[in-house]
A and B are shown apart, each in its own frame.
Chain A
Amino acid sequence: MAGLADATVDDSPNAPRNGAPAPLLDVQDLHLDFGGVKAVNGLSFSAYDGDILSVIGPNGAGKTSAFNCITGFYKPTAGRVLVEGQDITGARPSAIAARRVSRTFQNLRLFGELTVLDNVRAGMHLRIKQNALDALLHTPRFRRSEREATDEANRWLDFVGLRGDRGGAARNLPYGEQRRVEIARALASRPRLLLLDEPAAGLNHSEKVELLDLLRRISGLGIALVLIEHDMGLVMQVSQRIVVLNFGKQIADGTPEEVRRNPEVLEAYLGKDEDSTHTGDREVPRD
């Protein structure tokens, strides 16, 4: 038995201990400096399979910077990012995507001049099996892989509930629909971890209700979700855990209820209360 247990123990310091699975995403003491500005200053959190975790904080708290560090767009000044126990700190974004980490962007980053279907096919880039020779000769393998890609793209667009023309340019869709396309594109890479940067930004009330449902269905696929969001109503309803950032520093990490009552969080959002006797009654507003 001892031998069996030993076999599962890795020598590296971040190996899972006592048979507990390595977290899907493990952010360890992340720092990012831009000159003298500390955009991220000691962020640590981890996410497991099926988690829905939100990162919140006032504007400029370093949320998007942290996302960019995790997905390889920025090189963190210090700290490490591990995906399934593997250190990916400072790797190319495409290498991190290959580890089945996908993301969306704060300001929609669709390929506007290309068709909606092509946008979703982008997510499948790593999985489409064909080479240049297949494409030049239109081999059966080429035709099959193209057909499969189209079918799957259509299925993901069904999944996100896209209304509107799939064969037309993505930029012609209304904003809310473009958001769905971006999520479909990220899902098409079959991620285990999906990072959504303000998915509710610019959506109206009914679209937000639909988004909430979509997030739950994504979670139902076994995909861990990490989202940055300003809409407190959505965050409180959907999140299992919330990490709060302020001026790059992590000030709270807990369940929605814990975070809502945390005095430091209240201070960050509502400012310091002169008459501190009332702190116990205050809560982060729900909307």
Chain B
Amino acid sequence: MTWTMKKAPTTADTERSRGLNRMFSDRRLGWLGLAVALLAPFVSASNYSLSVITSAALFVMLAVGLNIVVGYCGLLDLGYAAFFAIGAYVSGVLSTTYGWSLLATVPVVLAAAVLAGIVIGGPTLRLRSDYLAIVTLGFGEIIRITANNLDITGGPSGIYGIPGLEVFGFDLSSPVAFYYAAVVIVALAVAGAARLGRSRMGRAWRFIREDEDAAEAMGIHTYKLKLAAYIAGAVWGGLAGILFGAQLSAISPQSFTFLWSALILLAVVLGGMGSTPGVVLGAIVISVLPELLRDAADYRFFVFGVLLIVVMIFRPQGLWPSQASERTPARVPEADKEEAWQA
């Protein structure tokens, strides 16, 4: 069984569910999600709950970024935390050691993410499926171990004292302000990824996922497009890294272990690979559920694991799978078409 396995036929394929799916894939759904995010602090605005929902927002951004690589393009990346780490460390070092504002580090982080995407993706994307997974796993570890051993990254103790977010003189470092800033940035990231997914490039990614040879036969340079997906994923991860540093004000190699890569991948698979609403939902579940399970104390992660297994058994295609459906306006009646065909 390979990674790009075909979905088992499910009840999700009925006419009714396709209709529902069309209704919800409307852009109104995006606005609804944004409204929910903006109203969340009115339910509970304690520092604890703000920190939970801010983390959830960042996690959504990571999951949406990884979804470009795994969901759209079908490349199994087990080292996605590497890009997250690169973003966090580049902005962390520039803002503490060199005193830059976080906003000023954005272009450098973008450049570093693109470069990392090329350096890691360049040699590895020639490999297929399982081999790619192993190599990306290795690169993820290399980045973490490098950060652990360099002086400029603060070694095992990492970087602390990363300033809060400040945009054009407005201090956004209070938990509430930072949450709203994060929601706006993450919303743009989600919309951007979804738009890329519906473009010529996004379609080409899906063609590669479905059948690489057939895509190549249609004139798609599969290597270049896989690299593009990888770089896009790196950019999303790198930008999320900046927010991560700003939220916690301290980062260390322990923040970027394999567990992170695995959890982000889990969010993508749990939500439904390639489906934007699914991946957003998956990320929220993965980041918030362990907090909701705090009552279970020591059994927290045990219960979390069991729940995930149950979900994957009963919904292997994910909570909100992506579905091929497109509105097709009324066309020539069937009878006329028959005649056109015979003629």
Contacts and interface: CB of A to CB of B under 8 A. Distances in A.
Note whether A and B form a binding pair.
yes
Interface of A: 71, 73, 92-95, 97-98, 102-103, 105, 109-115, 117-118, 121-123, 125-126, 128, 130, 132, 134-136, 138, 142, 145, 154, 158, 161, 163, 165-170, 172, 185, 189, 210
B57 to A, nearest CB: 20
A125 B7 contact: no
Q: Which of A118, A134, A185, A210 has the most CB of B within 10 A?
A: A118
Contacts of B211: 109-111
B83 to A, nearest CB: 18
B195 A135 contact: yes
Contact of A115 (B199, B200, B326): B326
B141 interface: no
B13 to A, nearest CB: 8
A135 B325 CA distance: 20
Nearest to B196: A135
Contact of A122 (B7, B13, B203, B340): B203
Interface in B269-325: 323-325
Given A125-B204, A130-B199, A94 B222 contact: yes
20 contacts: A92-B216, A94-B220, A98-B219, A105-B213, A111-B210, A113-B206, A114-B324, A121-B203, A122-B215, A122-B218, A122-B220, A125-B204, A128-B200, A132-B228, A136-B195, A161-B341, A163-B338, A165-B328, A169-B323, A169-B324
Contacts of A125: 200, 203-204, 207, 218-220
Contacts of B341: 161, 210
Interface residues of B, number: 42
Given A112-B210, A114-B207, A158-B340, A135 B217 contact: no
B220 A168 contact: no
B327 interface: yes
Given A73-B217, A94-B216, A125-B218, 18 more contacts: A92-B216, A94-B221, A95-B221, A97-B219, A105-B214, A113-B324, A114-B203, A115-B324, A118-B203, A122-B207, A122-B220, A126-B219, A158-B337, A158-B340, A163-B337, A165-B328, A167-B328, A170-B324
A251 to B, nearest CB: 28
Contacts, number: 127
B334 interface: yes
Contacts of A117: 326, 328
Interface in B191-206: 192, 195-196, 198-204, 206
B6 interface: yes
Contacts of B338: 163
Contacts of B323: 169
B104 to A, nearest CB: 23
